[in-house]
Every structure is written in C-alpha cells, then in structure tokens.
Amino acid sequence: MTKIAVLGAGSWGTTFAKVMADAAVLGGDLPSIMLWARREEVAAEITDSHSNATYLGETRLPEMITATTDLAEAVHGAEIVVLAVPAQSLRSHLQIIRENLESSAVLVSLIKGLERGTDLRMSEVIAAELGVGPDRIAVVSGPNLAMEIAREEPTASVVACASEQTAERVAALCKNQYFRPYTNTDVTGVEIAGIVKNVIALAVGICDGQKLGDNSKASVITRGLAETTRLATVLGGRLETFSGLAGLGDLVATCASPLSRNRSAGRLLGEGLTAEQATAQLSQTAEGMKSGSAVVELARQHEIEMPICEAVVAVLDGKLPVDRLASLLLARDLKAEGR
C-alpha cells in the first residue's frame, strides 16, 4: 500500500489530502494518506470524525485519511511527502523530515512563499536542507482556493517539476473528477508566480478597503502581473508560464475572490488596521504579509522595478500611510506598456 504524508492540516493541506483520496478512489488504488497537524484536537477530529471544521466547515473527508501530531510518524514510510506548512516555518520542520524520509520519496510543495533572510523559494529550501535532487521535488500551484476545491467545484492547476516523469506521477495522484492538473517543467516561474501574486492580492485588498473601483483593481492586477513576469524571467522562469494557470489564473483567483486570505488581509489594511491587527483577525497565514519583504529584497538584488510590491511592503512596515498607497501603486516613469 502506498503511503502519502501531507504535512499541514490547514485548509489547503487538508483539501489536497481529500483531492488525492478522491483521485485514488477514482483510480481504484487505495493508499494510506496521513495528515500531520500541530494540534491534537484537529488530528483527532480528522481521524475520528472525518472532518476539519475549523478550516473546511462541514466538508466530509474520505475515511482513508488519518491524522497525527507526530511529524516523524507521518513521514516514516511515505513515498510522497506533501508540504503545506507556512513558508517561514518550513526549514524548522525539515530536520525531522530528513531523519525519517525514505530514500526515494518525492517531495511536493504546496507552499506559496519566499523565505525571509535567504530569499529562497520553497523548492530551494527543500533541496538545501534535504539534499534532494530537482527530479524529486515538485510544486503544485494555480488557482487553489481551498474551500472551492473542497466543495468539489471544477478546478485546474499545475504540477511543476524539473522531471516530466515526476510531474506526471504527482499529477496522476491528484487527478479526479473535479481537480485537473497540468504538468510543467518551469519550477522557477511557477513558484515566483505563486509567491508574488499574494503581494499583489494584498494591494487589491487595500484598494477594496479604500473603496477604490474596478478600474483601479484591474490596473493593479495587470501591472502586478508585469512585475511578477519581470522578476521571474530574470531568475530563469519562462514567459509562457505567466499566461497560464500558475500565472494569470492564480493571480485572478487570489485577487478577485473573497475567499482569498491575502485579499482579505489587504482589505483590513485598507480599512486602517495595522499589519499586526489584520493578522490577529485572520485565522490562517496570509503568505503575502510574510513574504513581501523577501520579494522586494530579491527584486532589488536583480535591479527589477516592482513599485506595487514596494508600496505594499512599505504599508506593512508602517513606513507608508495606507491612504497614500493608491497614488503610488502606478507610480512609474512614463514608458511603453511591455517594459
């Protein structure tokens, strides 16, 4: 029996476990799927009641999904290890993962963040800490609003890996009647798209909080995609990735949906709350608030202009009053649109 470990029992980690369980039933293969949760009461609810009400309401989870608070137990014997923890805490978990990881296990990152202090993407953190080659590290991205997927609303996403064979293997494990994965080998582009769109969603949320209209928000989304593309292509990402699901698709979903944590956090900021007050009102991590400074630092290292991200980070740091942000969101010198 194949064992799959999903580390992180928040909304997206739990939903992805459900996606893989439903794919297994559809394919006639019944693996063991074990979630790792930080809190004992969450693990007990998943195992005993087949639900995770804190994050997914009344969604029923397949009975093949169990949970534990023992990280070593979750990882031991797993052929696939899915990582769904906050970006800034990933590295702290990797030592235990390394000590219990199977020699041929594939790592799958669901995390859309950049590590502060190192400016590393999650696949780079995984590779550095575990000594795992790029053919064993995959990334899942795209429009991934967890609650919609948990409700089995049709969704397409991307599985990216340097190895097409590994990408296809992971895609096969999560393909079901409502979740359609496409494969991609542009890991850099897919990860950068997933990281920066969170910061752009904060900007759109701030526009909401400031009662700005759809023209303003459409402008921020479009120019935000341009910022993302500039950074990613300098880092080696492919241009076509940004017109696809991991680029435009994820950006639109995250910026437009009231289910988006980053847009919701931005709205609170736009209404005048501090970053600390907005975080206190959210039940889950808004990755853009944590990764924004790393995005700006990475852009500066490569001399890439990212005025929207710069302005958002200045608001988060308390260096820019939120009511001045609107005038700065599009503050670039006159130039051709494609630059």
pLDDT tens string 32-54: 999 999 999 999 999 999 999 99
Confidence of residue 336 (pLDDT cuts 50, 70, 90): low
The superfamily (CATH) of domain 3-185 is: NAD(P)-binding Rossmann-like Domain (3.40.50.720)
Query: Looking at residue 331, what is its pLDDT?
Result: 61
- Flag whether pLDDT at 304 surpasses 80: yes
Among candidate residues 137, 156, 152, 140, the one with its CA nearest the CA of residue 94: 137
Does 11 appear as a known binding residue? Answer: yes
- Flag whether pLDDT at 28 surpasses 70: no
CATH of domain 188-331: 1.10.1040.10
- The DSSP secondary-structure symbol of 235 reads T
Share of the chain above pLDDT 70, in %: 96
Strands (E), 96-238: 106-109, 137-141, 155-160, 179-184
Q: Looking at residues 103-119, what average pLDDT do you find?
A: 95
Does 12 appear as a known binding residue? Answer: yes
Query: Looking at residue 263, what is its pLDDT?
Result: 95
Say how far apart CA 309 and CA 329 lie, in whole Å: 9
Query: Looking at residue 279, what is its pLDDT?
Result: 87
Instruction: Name the 3-class secondary structure at 114.
Output: strand
**φ/ψ (deg, to 5) at 242:** -85, -10
Strands (E), the chain: 3-7, 32-36, 65-68, 80-83, 106-109, 137-141, 155-160, 179-184
Distance (Å) of CA 246 to CA 67, 126, 160, 194, 284: 29, 20, 10, 7, 22
What is the domain partition of the chain in residue ranges?
3-185, 188-331
Tokens of 229: 């593309």
Burial of 320 per CB tally in 10 Å (0-12, 13-18, 19+): middle
Does 286 appear as a known binding residue? Answer: no
Does 142 appear as a known binding residue? Answer: yes
Q: Looking at residues 29-34, what average pLDDT do you find?
A: 84
Q: What is the CA radius of gyration of the chain?
A: 19
Per-residue pLDDT of 226-281, as tens digits, reads: 999 999 999 999 999 999 999 999 999 999 999 999 999 999 999 999 988 998 88
Per-residue pLDDT of 133-183, as tens digits, reads: 999 999 999 999 999 999 999 999 999 999 999 999 999 999 999 999 999
Q: Is 197 part of the annotated catalytic residue set?
A: yes
Does 39 appear as a known binding residue? Answer: yes
**Residue bearing the bigger pLDDT, 30 or 151:** 151
Per-residue pLDDT of 187-240, as tens digits, reads: 999 999 999 999 999 999 999 999 999 998 999 999 999 999 999 999 999 999
Does 250 appear as a known binding residue? Answer: yes
What global pTM score does this model have?
0.93
Among candidate residues 281, 306, 282, the one with its CA nearest the CA of residue 292: 306
Chain-wide mean pLDDT for the chain?
A: 93
- Flag whether pLDDT at 329 surpasses 90: no
Query: Looking at residue 338, what is its pLDDT?
Result: 63
Query: Looking at residue 26, what is its pLDDT?
Result: 76
Confidence of residue 310 (pLDDT cuts 50, 70, 90): very high
Query: Looking at residue 29, what is its pLDDT?
Result: 72
Say how far apart CA 103 and CA 111 lie, in whole Å: 22
Query: Looking at residue 183, what is its pLDDT?
Result: 97
Of 18, 197, 217, 290, the catalytic one is 197
Torsion sign over Cα 96, 105, 60, 257: positive
Same fold, 3-185 and 188-331: no
